[in-house]
Amino acid sequence: MIIAVDGPTASGKGTIAKALAAHFGLPHLDTGLLYRAVGLQCALNGGNPDDPADALAACDFPDAMMANPELRSEATGGLASRVSIHPEVRAALFDLQRAFATQNGGAVLDGRDIGTVIAPEAEVKLFVIASVEARAQRRYAEMLASGRKASLAAITADLEARDLRDATRSAAPLLAAEDAVVLDTSLLSRDEAIARAIALVELKAGIA
C-alpha cells in the first residue's frame, strides 16, 4: 500500500506521515528533506538557489547531508522552497522518490506532489491543510521550545511566501489530487490529527 501525504509547510503532514508509517508498518520518506538538502548544498556551494544551474548542481549532495541538523532550520526551508521551483531539480530527484514509493510492500511519502506526480497510483492520498495562522503559531512554538529566537510576524510572512511559490510554480505545483482526502488540522491537536488520519486511511483502504 502506498500512502501519499501532501500539503503546505507546517500543516502537520510530516508528523502524520511518520505516525501512519509506524502504525501500518511501512517505510517513510520525508521528500521535503531532499529539497532542503539541495537548498543547503546550494548555499554551501556559494550558489544562487534562484538560478536553475546552481540548484541543479546542488542535487549532487553527499549522503551525510541528510543527517545535517541544519536541514530543519527555517533558513534552509526557505532555500528548499526556492530550489524546488526548478523543473530540472524536480526531475533530478524524481527517480529516487519513485523508487522509494514503488518498493515491495509499499511506503508512506510526504511532500507536495506525491499524489499528483510521484505516486499518482497511490491507494490512499491525504492532503493535509491548516490555516496560515495555525501553522505560524506551531512553527513559532517549535522555535521557542528549541531555544531559537523567533518572530511570529516573520514566520507568517515566510509561510505566505512559500505557499505562493509552491502553488504557482510551473513544475508540480502544490495542489490536491482529484481523489485525495483533505484533512484540515487547524483546530486539531497532534494526537487528534493522527487519529483522524489513521481512520481516513483505514476507510479509504478498506481496512477493518
| Distance of alpha carbon 12 from alpha carbon 54, whole angstroms | 30
pLDDT higher than 80, residue 208: no
Structural domains of the chain sorted by starting position, each given as residue range(s) with its CATH number in brackets? 2-205 (3.40.50.300)
Q: Read off the pLDDT of residues 168-180 as tens digits, 9 standing for 90 and up.
A: 888 788 889 999 9
Burial of 137 (0-12, 13-18, 19+ CB in 10 A): middle
The pTM assigned to this predicted structure is 0.88
With a CB cutoff of 8 Å and minimum separation 6, the contacts of 119 are 2, 4, 98, 101, 102, 109
Backbone angles phi, psi at 4, to 5 degrees: -105, 125
Mean pLDDT, rounded, for 130-136: 97
The angle at the Cα of 68, spanning 64 to 71, to the nearest 5 degrees, equals 125
User: How is residue 204 written as a grid cell?
Assistant: 479509504
Mean pLDDT, rounded, for 96-120: 96
Cα-to-chain-centroid distance, residue 75? 16
User: How is residue 22 written as a grid cell?
Assistant: 509506524
DSSP state for residue 123 in the 8-state scheme:
S
